[in-house]
């Protein structure tokens, strides 16, 4: 069906948190969607008018920005990194909570004052966020782009510092690193292609409202507990 509404969802850790939201708005994905080993990329749901695709986190934003998917679920880290003007992010889903931070080896962090830095070399998946963060206070950031496992860069001399996502802090700790600055708090957002939101308002509007209500109901349940 060509006029299906496609929702792009990142594979990996966010997926598990997304399923209860889908259930709350009456979207039931086919069984393979929950199976991390499935090689399928596009999935049917109980609603013939809605299909899902499971892609890499950064690619969710690309599919939706280009209109290949009409809606998506993505971390605010991805939105901050790319700043796509074609994307509208109407709902904070309050899932995927973490922060994006600057970290360095524990020994270096002792007595280090980030306000005194004038130049930094940083390994990161987020060069735009990193440059913007440091430029705002006149620090020149030289970025080495990695796609994962940033935490190994300092000990091997690739860079003295990293900018990465932190949640429990256990990955930093396991690799002898300490957080020295928080750049931003992160959570996942519902994103919509702006053009599709206008041209297919009657299909997309109720879905956006559904997600909004599901998040509010979840928040109310948490408050009551």
Ligand X SMILES: Nc1ncnc2c1ncn2[C@@H]1O[C@H](COP(=O)(O)OP(=O)(O)OP(=O)(O)O)[C@@H](O)[C@H]1O
Q: Which residues bind ligand X (CB under 6 A)?
A: 10-14, 56-58, 75, 77-78, 96-98, 147-148, 165, 167, 186, 188
d(CA 42, CA 178): 40
Residue choice 48, 111, 148, 221 for contact with ligand PRP (CB under 6 A): 148
Q: How far is the CB of 184 from ligand X (least distance, A)?
A: 11
Contact by Cβ (8 Å): 165, 98: yes
Q: For ligand PRP, which is the closer residue by CB, 13 or 198?
A: 13
SS3 labels along 153-195: CCCCCCCCEEEEEECCCHHHHHCCEEEEEEEEEECEEEEEEHH
In the DSSP assignment, the letter for residue 31 is G
Contact by Cβ (8 Å): 219, 98: no
Residue choice 82, 169, 180, 187 for contact with ligand PRP (CB under 6 A): 169
Q: For ligand X, which is the closer residue by CB, 46 or 167?
A: 167
Q: How far is the CB of 215 from ligand PRP (least distance, A)?
A: 22
User: Is 167 a residue that touches ligand PRP (CB under 6 A)?
Assistant: yes
Q: For ligand X, which is the closer residue by CB, 6 or 9?
A: 9
Binding partner of residue 81 among ligand X, ligand PRP, none, CB under 5 to 8 Å per kind?
A: none
- Give me 16's structure tokens: 């598990």
Q: How far is the CB of 141 from ligand X (least distance, A)?
A: 20
Query: For the stretch 5-41, what's the b/e string if a residue is b when 16 or more beta carbons lie within 10 angstroms of its beta carbon?
Result: bbbbbbeeebbeebeebbeebebebeeebeeeeeeee
Q: For ligand X, which is the closer residue by CB, 66 or 198?
A: 66
Which residues of this protein are in contact with ligand PRP, per CB under 6 A? Answer: 13, 148-149, 164-171
């Amino acid at each position: 069906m060509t006029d299906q509404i496609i929702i792009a969802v990142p594979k990996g850790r966010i997926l598990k948190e997304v399923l209860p939201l889908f259930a709350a708005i009456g979207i039931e994905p086919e069984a393979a969607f929950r199976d991390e080993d499935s090689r399928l990329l596009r999935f049917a749901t109980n609603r013939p008018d809605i299909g899902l695709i499971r892609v890499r986190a950064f690619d969710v934003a690309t599919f939706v920005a280009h209109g290949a998917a009409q809606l998506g679920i993505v971390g605010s880290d991805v939105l901050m990194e790319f700043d796509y003007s074609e994307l509208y992010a109407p709902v904070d889903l309050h899932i995927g909570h973490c922060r994006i931070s600057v970290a360095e080896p524990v020994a270096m962090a002792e007595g280090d004052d980030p306000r005194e830095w004038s130049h930094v070399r940083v390994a990161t998946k987020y060069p735009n966020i990193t440059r913007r963060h440091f430029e705002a206070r006149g620090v020149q950031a030289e970025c080495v782009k990695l796609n994962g496992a940033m935490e190994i860069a300092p000990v091997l001399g690739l860079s003295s510092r990293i900018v990465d996502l932190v949640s429990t802090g256990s990955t930093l700790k396991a690799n002898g690193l300490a957080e020295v600055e928080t750049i931003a708090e992160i959570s996942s957002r519902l994103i919509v292609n702006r053009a599709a939101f206008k041209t297919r308002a009657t299909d997309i509007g109720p879905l956006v409202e559904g997600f909004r209500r599901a998040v509010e109901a979840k928040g109310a349940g948490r408050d009551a507990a």
